[in-house]
């Protein structure tokens, strides 16, 4: 009988402590989303030290905690619905998971913090996300927010190089056949730009740089094509530039719309 009473006391004590810690874990989750709602970055970092690595989080207008699961090693998983509103005011519920553990495993009463999450931020908003997904950066990992963010950080470096590679590829394959003349300090000429790639290219601009015989730059002029340039398409351009002095050499450089470069580099190899 004494053993039964002792067992009952231990069970009651365990349930009381477990309930107490569940309450603290719930408070951490609620306090974090309260801070997110008002943009209190200091409080957010206090509760989720690595949240700054995530980028854009879903803006919260309210949460509904569904359950709290106790995991091994005194860690917890809080499963909730995060209601957010877009710029048009439409709301949507996103299932979000917060992974929470004691700041001091030997003294849980000292408080808890969020060490990872799932569904809290939207990596799709990062221009390099589509590139990273296509290239397999997220293969073989648990798809928690921090794991995705760390792989995305690696991908951004390669994505930047890929964009530069695309720009160089376009300059090599979108060519300008042109001529010019210097008539008493007035530069004028015309040319044709041809698209030898498989891409339809919008908003192509050009820069004409004039030089003296010794290579010293005199001045620059610029312009842009009126229409997008389809594969194998051509478009002519002409220009007149004042005050080029005694310039004897000139070169034309083609530039491409940055949004087009980002979108195309994310979707294609070449």
Given a cut of 50, whether residue 11 has pLDDT beyond it is no
User: Percentage of the chain with pLDDT > 90?
Assistant: 77
Pick 17 or 250 by higher pLDDT: 250
Residue 3 has pLDDT above 90, yes or no: no
What pLDDT shows up at residue 59? 79
pLDDT at 55: 82
Alpha-carbon distance of 141 to 154, in angstroms, equals 14
In a domain, 199, yes or no: yes
Average the pLDDT over 71-92 and give the result. 88
More confident residue, 14 or 171: 171
Q: Which domain holds residue 50?
A: 2-121
Is 259 within a domain? Answer: yes
Let me know if residue 38 belongs to a domain: yes
Q: Left if phi > 0, otherwise alpha if psi is -120 to 50, otherwise beta: which for 185? A: left
> pLDDT tier at 9 (50, 70, 90 boundaries)?
very low
Position 14 scores a pLDDT of: 40
Q: Which of 5-9, 78-82, 93-97, 168-172 shows the lowest per-residue confidence on average (mean pLDDT)?
A: 5-9
Instruction: Let me know if residue 166 belongs to a domain.
Output: no
Tell me, what CATH number does 234's domain have? Answer: 2.60.40.10
Res 16 pLDDT > 90: no
Task: Tell me the C-alpha distance between 232 and 219, whole Å.
Answer: 32
Residue 255 lies in a domain: yes
User: Which pLDDT value is given to residue 57?
Assistant: 80
pLDDT tens by residue, 158-170: 999 999 999 999 9
Q: What is the pLDDT of residue 21?
A: 64
Total domains, the chain: 2
Model pLDDT, residue 6 = 44
Question: Angle at CA 264, nearest 5°, toward 147 and 198?
Answer: 145
179 and 102 inside one domain:
no
Judged against a pLDDT cut of 70, whether residue 227 lies above it is answered with yes
Nearest to 147 by CA among 127, 155, 196: 155
Does any domain span residue 142?
Answer: no
Q: List residues bridging with 253 in a β-sheet.
A: 207
Q: What is the mean pLDDT of residues 102-106?
A: 91
Helices (H), 48-141: 129-134
Q: Taking a C-beta distance cutoff of 8 angstroms, is the pair 39, 57 a contact? A: no
User: What is the domain-level CATH number for residue 77?
Assistant: 3.10.450
Residues 10 and 114 in one domain: yes
Place of tokens 């939207």: 122
How far from the centroid of its chain's Cα atoms is residue 4's Cα?
A: 59
This prediction's pTM = 0.79
Quote the CA–CA distance of 253 and 162 in Å, as a whole number: 20
- Assess if residue 150 is contained within a domain: no
CA distance 262 to 259: 5
Residue 226 has pLDDT above 70, yes or no: yes
Query: Does position 99 have pLDDT exceeding 70, yes or no?
Result: yes
* Closest listed residue to residue 141, CA positions, set 125, 158, 123: 123
Among 89, 121, 153, identify where a domain stops. 121
Q: What is the mean pLDDT of residues 101-127?
A: 92
Question: Is 6 in the same domain as 96?
Answer: yes
At residue 141, the pLDDT reads: 87
Return the pLDDT at 89. Answer: 75
Spatial distance between the Cα atoms of 183 and 54, rounded to a whole number of angstroms: 58
Q: Looking only at Cα atoms, what is the longest distance across the chain? A: 115
- Length of the chain in terms of residues written: 270
């Amino acid at each position: 009988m004494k053993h039964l009473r002792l067992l009952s006391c231990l069970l009651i004590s365990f349930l009381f402590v477990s309930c107490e810690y569940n309450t603290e874990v719930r408070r951490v989750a609620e306090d974090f989303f309260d801070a997110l709602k008002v943009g209190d970055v200091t409080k957010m970092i206090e509760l989720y030290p690595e949240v700054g690595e995530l980028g854009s989080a879903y803006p919260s207008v309210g949460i509904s905690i569904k359950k709290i699961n106790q995991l091994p090693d005194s860690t917890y998983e809080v499963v909730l619905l995060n209601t957010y509103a877009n710029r048009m005011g439409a709301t949507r519920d996103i299932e979000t998971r917060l992974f929470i553990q004691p700041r001091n495993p030997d003294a849980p009463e000292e408080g808890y913090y969020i060490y990872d999450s799932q569904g809290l931020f939207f990596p799709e908003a990062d221009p390099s996300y589509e590139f990273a997904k296509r290239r397999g950066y997220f293969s073989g990992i648990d798809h928690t927010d921090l794991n995705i963010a760390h792989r995305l950080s690696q991908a951004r470096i390669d994505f930047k190089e890929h964009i530069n590679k695309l720009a160089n590829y376009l300059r090599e394959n979108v060519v300008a056949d042109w001529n010019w003349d210097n008539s008493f300090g007035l530069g004028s000429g015309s040319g044709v730009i041809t698209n030898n790639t498989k891409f339809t290219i919008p908003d192509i601009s050009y820069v004409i740089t004039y030089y003296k015989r010794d290579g010293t730059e005199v001045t620059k002029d610029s312009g842009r094509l009126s229409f997008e340039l389809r594969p194998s398409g051509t478009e002519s351009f002409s220009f007149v530039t004042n005050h080029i002095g005694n310039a004897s050499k000139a070169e034309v450089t083609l530039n491409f719309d940055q949004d087009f470069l980002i979108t195309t580099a994310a979707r294609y190899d070449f």
